[in-house]
A and B are shown apart, each in its own frame.
Chain A
Amino acid sequence: MDLELSESELAFQAEARAWLAANVPAEPLPSLDTAEGFVLHQAWEAKLAAERWSVVSWPKEYHGREASLVEWIIFEEEYYRAGAPLRVSQNGIFLLAPIIFEHGTPEQQDRFLPSMATGERVWAQCWSEPEAGSDLASLKSTARRDDERGGWVLNGQKIWCSRAALAQWGFGLFRSDPEAQKHAGLTYFLFPLDAEGVTVRPIAQLDGEEGFAEVFFDDVFVPDADVLGAPGDGWRVAMSTAGNERGLSLRSPGRFTAAADRLLDLYDEKPDPRVADRVVDAWLKAEAYRLYTWGTVTRLKDGGDIGAAGSVNKVWWSELDVALHETALDLLGPDAELESRWLDGYTFSLSGPIYAGTNEIQRNIIAERILGLPREPKGVQK
């Protein structure tokens, strides 16, 4: 049992740290959910990609450096410690790319991965529908076969689509077989958000920024080449990303250990003994998450699967994130309500327990799949 980094891992860490120190913008970029900020964040992605730092774990042919899982965690730790910009491309690189690697054809990999790595093409996730949130498989948007043109025709509505207001392409599930049972008959599609028949209506989030959008599909044609995985197999294909989103890939510990360090700095500036225990708990939970992740990495290296443990992970980081930012706001006192980086972080943290499967759904998964408790009888379904 050890937590030692190897010589090559330490060298990788030093290289990442040096590059980030020299290249991270001194001033924070404008929000990536504004038109101006979006473009600047794309430029940052291009800069990362030019030195192979945007997707370190990917193959070299797609701008990666074939970093190991351990190196990826190291990179993330350095990235957040350096205060580098949020990743405008995260839906693509963390949610979609793993599926393209697993289920995409070589042609799709060649066509979609390079522009994702450079930030040139930003992807939006289009999962939820007005009537299909936690119960995603009840989605109603349709895909109708069009043999003549060699593809599918999409109709329906998606909502809460992160980045869709400004992104170029989207990915989501559509019901391609109306006769099939709920989870069957779904197909995974990739589509340009400026295609004929697509209407994007941005939605202002709690902080006033248009971080997500509604997307309407009115006879949108998608060629067979842009179907990911087999038609009708979309649920299985999509669930490989759901695991990634909940688990390791979206929220590496570096994000929270860096935030806990900033919280300690804030406590130094504004020491309030009444809040001291909560400052300690924020640090402790981030530290627990860091160590827990090394355990996960060890299991994955040995060929294990994150499985339902991804749900344990997701509840932890999302609740830690809220608690950490609430503590910072308490330290800020009457200034807490004023615009600040802490307030931005707080508002963003509030979405954590909701997206990527609400924490209530995660607790059901933990109870049923890890503790082995009986499933709750489900309501009548159509």
Chain B
Amino acid sequence: MKFELTTDQQDFAASLESLLAAADCVAAARSWAEGDHAAGLRLWERLAEQGLTMLATEASPVEVCVAFEALGRHAVPGPWVEAAAYLPVALGAEVEGVATVAMPRALDADVADAVYAVVDGTLHSATAGTAHTSVDRSRHLFDVTPGEAVAHGDLAAAYDLAVLATAAQLLGAGERVLADAVTYVKQRKQFGREIGSYQAIKHKLADVRIALDFARPLVHGAALDPTRRAVSAAKVACADAAYLASRTGLQVHGAIGYTQEFDLSVWITKIRALVTAWGTPGEHRARILETLRSA
């Protein structure tokens, strides 16, 4: 019984953190949103060199969660869940370059070297069609037309790892919004004192702290034993906690938080998109109930 990250896992988290903190990920996300993928692809290569694209096949789901929490904390753009969680398990091998899969639309298919789709429980190659605009401007979503079937492994396991990776990404994004909100309310003064000294603000932020603190063990628990029920529980809890963080973060920032220019918008819109990506909270709650009743 030792329910915390090992020293190696903590070191891995710290090295990703220092890489991403120095990389100006927000600028990469903003230019990615404008269709300029250069900075985002450089970041992709550096993260691939760190082993991110091989974690799903070579490491444990705990390392996958550590990585995706960092990706969420820094709002790294690109089809990471697709290329570094779903497809390596679905294809049984690390993905070379950028790849994506339609779930039901394909994220960033315009920049992917390979596009896949799932048809009746089997994996097919696919061609991107019409583009759609997401609330998260850095997520370009495409309809696809399936092509040839391709050999594949356990798609259910691939889906569950993708759900867990999305949960971890939400956890990181929620943590980032909370940290930025705390920094802001310590600086912003109204009526002659920091707004963070008012209980109305404190209690909202305390609730975010609580929600994130209880979402994290569900992520790590699911990483140790990634059953359908466990990954769905992690996704529901992280979506709820991150969404609470985003709503609270927006509220305590006031009008400045409502602008696209202020960086908080990058996380607020990403969290909104991820809450319903890879299964809505309603779908995951239904999955949990189903597994509990068949137990």
What is A's interface to B at a CB cutoff of 8 Å?
1-6, 9, 70, 264, 268, 276-277, 279-281, 283-285, 287-289, 291-292, 294-295, 297-299, 309, 312, 315-316, 360, 362-364, 366-368, 370-377
Contacts and interface: CB of A to CB of B under 8 A. Distances in A.
A376 B288 CA distance: 42
A316 B217 CA distance: 14
A312 B213 contact: yes
Interface stretch (B2-10, B43-51, B89-97, B258-266): B2-10
B193 interface: yes
Interface of B: 1-6, 9, 62, 178, 182, 185-186, 193-194, 196-199, 201-203, 205-207, 209-210, 213-218, 220-221, 223-225, 233, 236-237, 282, 285-286, 288-289, 292-293
B218 A371 contact: no
A298 B193 contact: no
B1 A298 contact: yes
A373 B233 contact: no
A363 B204 CA distance: 9
A283 to B, nearest CB: 6
A1 B221 CA distance: 10
B269 to A, nearest CB: 24
A373 B205 contact: yes
B289 A279 contact: yes
Given A280-B289, A374-B194, A312 B205 contact: no
Q: B-side binding surface: helix, strand, loop or mixed?
A: helix
A316 B209 CA distance: 11
Contacts of A367: 196, 202-203, 205-206
Q: Which of A5, A70, A371 has the most CB of B within 10 A?
A: A371
Interface of chain A, main secondary structure: helix
Given A3-B3, A371-B178, 18 more contacts: A1-B3, A1-B6, A1-B220, A283-B292, A288-B214, A298-B1, A299-B4, A315-B210, A360-B203, A363-B202, A364-B203, A367-B205, A370-B206, A371-B206, A373-B194, A373-B205, A374-B196, A376-B197
Most chain B CB within 10 A, of A284, A285, A364, is at A284
A380 B186 CA distance: 24
Task: Give the residue among B207, B210, B223, B237 with the most A Cβ atoms within 10 A.
Answer: B210
B3 A291 contact: yes
Given A280-B285, A370-B209, A371-B205, A292 B217 contact: yes
Contacts of B221: 3, 287, 291
Given A1-B9, A288-B215, A268 B293 contact: yes
15 contacts: A1-B62, A280-B236, A291-B217, A292-B214, A295-B220, A298-B1, A299-B4, A315-B206, A363-B206, A367-B205, A368-B202, A371-B182, A373-B196, A376-B199, A377-B197
Nearest to A268: B293
Contacts of A9: 1
A357 B178 CA distance: 25
A283 B288 contact: yes
Contact of B217 (A294, A309, A371, A372): A294
A309 B282 CA distance: 30
Contacts of A366: 206, 209-210
B10 to A, nearest CB: 10
B199 A280 contact: no
A312 B209 contact: yes
Contact of B1 (A2, A284, A368): A2
Contact of A276 (B218, B224, B289): B289
Contacts of A1: 2-6, 9, 62, 220, 223-224
